[in-house]
Structure 1
Amino acid sequence: MSVTALKPYDFPAKDVRENFPAPLLFIGWEEHLMFPCPVALPLPADMPFGAIGQVVLPGVYGVHPDFARIDWNTMQWFKSGQPWTPDPAKSLADNGLGHKDMISFRTPGLTGIQGSFS
């Protein structure tokens, strides 16, 4: 949807990197409507990508009944909606992630509480 401003629309952006403790990364779990939208998390750019699954996601999505059933070997990652294969040993920055990037993951065989998404 386009927007037409009636007056000059010139002001400094409030969501620039410098205004947050770390770059914001948006993360969503596809096909799990208990979490209808991605979460925005300030994550250090030098954090290994593998820490997302080991440290970050349990604190965000661990309350979901499917979380304990995730097969981490078949998880599918997406960056800006496109299939993506991150390197878990490399940092977020080295995986090409920056401030306000959006990633999501799909867990084959798990489609919401009692298959509610299917």
Structure 2
Amino acid sequence: MSVIALKEGYKGEIKDREENFHGNRLLFIGWEDHLMFCAPHCIPVPPSMTFAALVNDVLPGIYSAHPDWASVKFDEIEWFRSNERFTPVLDRTLEENGLRHKGLIRFRTPGLTGIHGSCS
């Protein structure tokens, strides 16, 4: 997120530069219609991680506490990179799927809209 300084000429050090994360990149991940998680999670991931590893190994650790998680049909997930719909290639890396430092992905699970349809 960009910040506009109120003081003219302000020059601050950017602390969340990619080189500060020991080979990892920050990736924001949000689950649409599931506001039990009120904002996207921000996690450090290696750009060499495959998208399949992200889905199979990382996402359950973040979202499996939600009652809808057990009903997720992974082949029906709708993926968004920033605000554009995209189809990830599961056996390609996050880098190859176009996910850069501080990138955002969101996913929607058709038919699942939170606890009792409340979007929570």
TM range (shorter): over 0.9
TM-score by length of 1: 0.93
Could you list the runs of 5+ residues in structure 1 that have no partner in the other structure?
A: none
Q: SS of the counterpart of 2:59? A: helix
Could you list the runs of 5+ residues in structure 2 that have no partner in the other structure?
A: none
Residue 50 of structure 2 corresponds to 48
> How far is 1:6 from its partner?
2.6
> How far is 1:29 from its partner?
0.2
Check 1:42–1:3 CA distance in 2 against 1; reply closer, same or farther (3 A cut): closer
TM-score by length of 2: 0.91
Residue 16 of structure 2 corresponds to 15
Q: Across the two proteins, how many residue pairs are aligned to each other?
A: 117
Residue 90 of structure 1 corresponds to 92
Question: 1:67-113: per-residue Cα shift (whole Å, max 9, x none)?
Answer: 01001111000011211111001000011111100000000000001
CA distance in 1, matches of 2:39, 2:5: 27
What's the C-alpha RMSD, in Å, of the aligned pairs? Answer: 1.6
Check 1:4–1:46 CA distance in 2 against 1; reply closer, same or farther (3 A cut): closer
Percentage identity across paired residues of the two chains: 48
Residue 108 of structure 2 corresponds to 106
Q: Could you say which structure has the higher helix fraction?
A: 2
1:61 aligned onto 2:70: no
